[in-house]
A and B are shown apart, each in its own frame.
Chain A
Amino acid sequence: AQSVAQPEDQVNVAEGNPLTVKCTYSVSGNPYLFWYVQYPNRGLQFLLKYITGDNLVKGSYGFEAEFNKSQTSFHLKKPSALVSDSALYFCAVREMRSGGGADGLTFGKGTHLIIQP
């Protein structure tokens, strides 16, 4: 079984400061990892993904995430936070397996990111 943990329900950051939203995962084999963002009253939007290759992945809106296999983590980061980054962020995982399939992703519970002016 695969699972995702987002240990923080809420993260507060001052505008202009760096931000980190934490995510750890558990899969039987190698993972595909994703970050999605949800703005109020909207559906989720894809931010970035790790499939293979460089451990540092760059995505939309200046976000990046670092894959750390030994710590089974995929933390989301941004060097300088904007008030408009305030939203609900979801980490998601699926196991990399040759059979593929569409049984979808396993999502974390989400972390509210609040950027204070």
Chain B
Amino acid sequence: NAGVTQTPKFRILKIGQSMTLQCTQDMNHNYMYWYRQDPGMGLKLIYYSVGAGITDKGEVPNGYNVSRSTTEDFPLRLELAAPSQTSVYFCASSYGRARGIAGANVLTFGAGSRLTVL
């Protein structure tokens, strides 16, 4: 199994540009998440989804959008890139409530996408 696959691994954007970070998982997980990781700040939840067609905001959603048209894919869209969005972005997935609350929180992470906005 590939697990959680993120593309691209690295990207440099200019201020105001747009881009989409792709995320796909092949584990048939219901729940998917986007986090950003900044040095010394831990992980912050941007958006999450409990299933196809359902998304919700996390702790730091401003400047981002998501969609979940299929169980496998959960792309993250940056519409107008800003330097504050320079970060490492992680997509993750989990089974969801079918495995109980505990199972919903055992996350499988992708390898990350490092984004720099100049």
Contact = CB atoms under 8 A, between A and B. Distances in A.
23 contacts: A32-B101, A32-B105, A34-B106, A36-B107, A43-B92, A43-B111, A43-B112, A44-B90, A44-B92, A49-B106, A100-B97, A102-B33, A102-B104, A103-B45, A103-B48, A103-B58, A104-B35, A104-B48, A104-B105, A105-B107, A109-B40, A109-B42, A110-B40
A65 to B, nearest CB: 15
Chain B: interface size category: 20 to 34
A46 B112 contact: no
Interface in A7-56: 9, 32, 34, 36, 41-46, 49, 51
A102 B96 contact: yes
B21 interface: no
Contacts, number: 72
Contact of A45 (B35, B94, B105, B109): B109
Given A43-B4, A43-B90, A43-B111, 9 more contacts: A41-B112, A42-B112, A43-B110, A90-B42, A94-B105, A102-B31, A104-B35, A105-B105, A107-B42
A103 B56 contact: yes
